[in-house]
A and B are shown apart, each in its own frame.
Chain A
Amino acid sequence: MYPFTYQRPQSLAEAAQLLGDDDEAKLLAGGMTLLPTMKMRLAQPSMLIDLGGLDELRGIEKHGSVLEIRAMTTHAEVAASEVVQESIPALAELALGIGDSQVRNRGTIGGSVANSDPAADYTAAVLGLNATVVTNRREIAADEFFLGMFETALERDELVVAIRFPKPACAGYVKFPNPASRYAVVGVMVARFENAVRVAVTGAGACVFREAQFEQALAGEFAPQVLSGILVDAVEFNNDMHASAEYRAHLLTVMAKRAVAIAVSEAGA
């Protein structure tokens, strides 16, 4: 790693100040992406602002039908949370499938969402479950948050404080994991709400996106077979050593059908 300076702020305001004062500073949450990236010298921040001292960024709470997960909550904490398991089981299941046990013990939901990795799992949860990203300044709807590969609506001195998930009628998440990294080659979150069905796809494109054709078909009838025969356009899909664009298009339908089946069984349970 290149040298950098280190700060551990004691308040959100101090963290935002430090971030705003230095163009090259980066926030350190769990560090599961940032530190390996720095070790490979793909990133060279001047300063790391460690959010590990901010207890106000930890915890899971339920307010009515909305589940609020604070930014520094680890994947392991989300996976093991009875509140999450009970209100949105698909979200607990998703968290249990991220990386490996040690990554889940350090990696955080806020870090993952702010990073907008094209193959991250949480991005599909935020977009598919129509969550709201709460920052130190405002609330951002999921549809407005993810702008592109590693690009979000966050301003330079803005940081994620919490994610608020409305409870769907039912939901399912299934991914085809890369066998080495467990990143999603393709992952699909399907969520059924009272008035709408949302389908969010990660791993397939440069950034998480909604699959409108699937949403419309599922709004008509919420069953896996309605997705058969819908042609998925793979033109802009990722094409790399892990999978071709065409294969990802195929996986998208398969993962979506399985996700719908899980959601249907949750609804029937």
Chain B
Amino acid sequence: MSLTVAFKLNGNAVTAEAEPQTLLVEMLREALRQTGTHVGCDTSQCGACVVHVNGRSVKSCSMLAIQADGAEVLTIEGLAQDGELHPLQQAFRECHGLQCGFCTPGMIMSALDLLQTTPQPDDATIRHWLEGNLCRCTGYQNIIRAVKSAASKMAG
């Protein structure tokens, strides 16, 4: 049973073939070659696969590709505009919010969802929001700093 999934990826209309059991992250990485979205745990714990579906952050390893039919999907590849890093990407770089970088796309997509509804979050709010994103390198302090730094730039 092959299905055709038609959706918007980073603003562009795309279609891809998928089996019912194909995960959204598999379709993004394998069929559409958008490999910025990572697979860490594959059990919806780690958050490396976070993308936005219709404006809200989701774990793309725990959603079927066909469930994105008709949706607007935003991945890390869609953030930089005209070669300019998104303020969150820039802030992670400036604040040393990453070491190996594996969790970073998910961290940034998750944080972006937070800043869209809560433009000036305090530390506790950021920590609560990022509970579903695991980083094994930085210890989170600089990630929190990066999100706060981006928040003030985006507000200013």
Interface on A for B, CB 8 Å cutoff? 1-6, 8, 28, 31-32, 35-36, 38-40, 48, 50, 52, 76, 80, 99-103, 105-106, 180-182
Contacts and interface: CB of A to CB of B under 8 A. Distances in A.
A6 B5 CA distance: 13
A105 B62 CA distance: 12
Given A102-B58, A180-B45, 5 more contacts: A35-B62, A39-B42, A76-B56, A80-B117, A100-B131
A102 B20 contact: no
- DSSP class of A's interface residues: helix, strand, loop or mixed? mixed
A3 B18 CA distance: 12
Contact of A105 (B1, B42, B57): B57
Given A2-B21, A39-B43, A180-B45, A31 B62 contact: yes
Interface of B: 1, 3, 19-21, 42-45, 47, 50, 56-59, 62-64, 66-67, 110, 113-114, 117, 129-133
Contacts of B113: 101, 105
B4 to A, nearest CB: 12
Given A101-B57, A101-B131, A103-B132, A1 B44 contact: no
B1 A102 contact: no
24 contacts: A3-B21, A4-B21, A5-B1, A6-B20, A6-B64, A32-B44, A35-B62, A39-B43, A40-B43, A50-B64, A50-B66, A50-B67, A76-B56, A101-B110, A101-B113, A101-B129, A101-B130, A101-B131, A102-B50, A102-B57, A103-B59, A105-B56, A105-B58, A106-B63
A97 to B, nearest CB: 9
B110 A102 contact: yes
A72 B50 CA distance: 21
B20 A32 contact: no
Nearest to B49: A102
B58 to A, nearest CB: 5
A103 B64 CA distance: 14
